[in-house]
Amino acid sequence: MSIKANNPSLKSWVEVPAGSDFPIQNIPFAVITTEGDTPRVATRIGDTVIDLKVLFDFGYFEGLQFALEDFDTDKLNNMMRSGKEGTRALRNRISDLFVDSNNELRKNDNHIHQALLDIDDVQPLMPIEIGDYTDFYSSEQHAYNVGCLFRDPDNALMPNWKHIPVGYHGRASSILESGVDFHRPKGQKKPPSEEVPVFGQCNLLDFELETAFFTYEGKPLGDNITTEEADDYIFGMALLNDWSARDIQGWEYVPLGPFLGKNFASHISCWIVTLDALEPFRVSGPVQDPKVLPYLEYEGDKHVDINLEVIIQPENGEENVVAKSNYRHMYWNMNQQLAHHTINGCNMRLGDCYGSGTISGPEEGEFGSMLEISWKGTKPFKMSDGSERKFINDNDTVIMRGFSEKNGIRIGFGEVKAKVLPTK
């Protein structure tokens, strides 16, 4: 697929620091605010944030199917109503304005002064109004590791796992943007030493290294989206830390699955990277054996090569990289997840969020949760300050970063981070 804004030869007249996640080939979307001003839609190149409301006011988007309220707003949802064709045209237009051969905006100092902001002067906000949230369980290595920990290697994967993209409906109200701290949850647990459950704070707080994707408006209730159609319904992706309270989850999950052990907080990164921007980083997926049912079959490269890492930073301490993984390790891809989610006629809505499930690679050092890294607490991770982590401590900050890179072009997400505060 040839998308104009993805041209690897493009250079911007805006400075892009070496190693930046945000070259002119990225053009992600976010909602930002600055001191004394209202929220609005923005993009960025390097460390320069571009106010799209200002560019609209000055007439730079004439001929595109957008209105002022698409940019003068506190969520991306209005802009997303234009669908894949609309956001692709917008991204291509922004690319045109900022390529080094175009002086249309470059020579207008007054417009530049109003539209271009320094990243340090900007506060990114929750980018999308999320109506529904589904979390999948689609990394084979993660599912295998968890099965080994709680059952045995011979029965690690449940019988349905290689036949359907397993998922559950989560809680959208507690999805938070990067940088928002949260309190350690509390609830019922049943420690091995106790005959009856006890109430108290979660002692086994864990991160889950995930990505998320967001949909445009879907089809009416009763219709389904095929794997071939799925790309047209996916707006973009973010990093996702889907926190887990393992001790609360372990007691409650039978028979209906995740509930209080999962719904207390999840964090997403604030700059939504479009599926279009990730197109050059498509890769083939694993051979799926046994053969999937026809509605889950797909053609072409539908996985994405995204390098991922997780960092734990103690209060006033150094960053410790505890895991490096890659989104290409997924068994089920986004197209299959969306096709399965809708095959029963379930309707997808604009702004809905879908978590990948914990992303674990095949080797130690590539596992996407402390449950796996510490092997259920039996192999503590040694930190640079001499302390150990089996799970996450109070006042730890967990940071996740991710990027794709090919032919000298790096398309990244920035980061998602959050600090764990003591239980209320």
Assess whether 169 and 70 both reside in one domain.
no
Same domain flag for 101 and 151: no
Q: Comparing C-alpha atoms, which of 12, 93, 16, 10 is closest to residue 56?
A: 93
- What pLDDT score does 219 carry? 98
305/171 same-domain check: yes
Report residue 68 as tokens. 């002022």
- 275 DSSP 8-state letter: H
* Same domain membership, residue 265 and residue 245: yes
Closest of 241, 314, 288, 235 to residue 75, by C-alpha: 235
Helix (H, G, I), strand (E, B) or coil at 352: coil
What pLDDT is attached to residue 1?
66
Q: Judge if 275 and 378 occupy the same domain.
A: yes
Catalytic residues, which ones? Answer: 142
User: Are 383 and 340 in the same domain?
Assistant: yes
Domain limit, last residue, from 74, 107, 124: 124
Both 89 and 202 in one domain: the answer is: no
Token pair belonging to 116 = 């271009």
- Is 338 within 8 Å of 318 (Cβ atoms)? no
Contact assessment for residue 54 and residue 43, using Cβ atoms and an 8 Å cutoff: no
Rounded Cα distance between 184 and 418, Å, is: 12
Rounded to whole angstroms, the Cα distance separating 171 from 135 reads 10
Write the CATH number for 366.
3.90.850.10
Determine the pLDDT at residue 23.
98
Cα–Cα distance, 151 to 290 (Å, whole number): 22
CB-count burial class (<10 Å; 0-12, 13-18, 19+) for 92: middle
Nearest to 142 by CA among 305, 337, 312, 370: 370
Same domain? For 39 and 76 the reply is yes
56 Cβ contact list (under 8 Å, min separation 6): 66, 68, 70, 71
Co-location of 67 and 92 in the same domain: yes
- DSSP code at position 259: S
Residue 376: domain span: 133-421
The answer for residues whose C-beta is within 8 angstroms of residue 146's C-beta and 6 or more apart is 156, 371, 372
Section 137-147 average pLDDT: 96
In this prediction, residue 2 carries a pLDDT of: 79
Which residue, 102, 124, 146, sits at the end of a domain? 124
Helix (H) or strand (E) holding 205: strand 205-206
pLDDT in tens, 71-87: 999 999 999 999 999 99
Secondary structure of 98-138 as H, E, C letters = HECCCCCCCCCHHHHHHHEEEHHHCEECCCCCCCCEEEECC
Same domain, 105 and 145: no
Of the residues 92, 124, 156, the one at which a domain ends: 124
Give the separation between CA 344 and CA 346, rounded to whole angstroms. Answer: 6
Using DSSP's 3-state secondary structure scheme, residue 139 falls into strand
Stretch 4-12: mean pLDDT:
97
Q: Are residues 137 and 118 in the same domain?
A: no
pLDDT of 353 over the 80 cut? yes
What is the average per-residue pLDDT within 307-332? 98
Residues 242, 109 within the same domain: no
Q: Is the pLDDT of residue 355 over 70?
A: yes
Sequential DSSP letters for 24-82: TTT--BEEEE-TTS--EEEEEETTEEEEHHHHHHTTTTTTSS--GGGTSSSSSHHHHTT
Q: DSSP assignment, residue 330? A: B
What order of strands is seen across the sheet that includes strand 397-406? 182-183, 409-421, 397-406, 307-313, 320-326
Mean pLDDT of the chain: 97
Rounded CA-CA distance 184/186 in Å is 7
**Residue 404 is which amino acid?**
S
Q: Which tens digit of pLDDT belongs to each residue from 215-237?
A: 999 999 999 999 999 999 999 99
Do strands 303-304 and 273-274 pair parallel, antiparallel, or not at all (unpaired)?
Answer: unpaired
Domain tally for the chain? Answer: 2
Q: Summarize pLDDT for 257-302 with one digit per residue, the tens.
A: 999 999 999 999 999 999 999 999 999 999 999 999 999 999 999 9
Query: CATH number of the domain that 88 lies in?
Result: 2.30.30.230
Residue 330: how many other CB atoms lie within 10 Å:
28
- Average pLDDT of 304-331? 98
**DSSP H helical ranges for 272-324:** 275-278
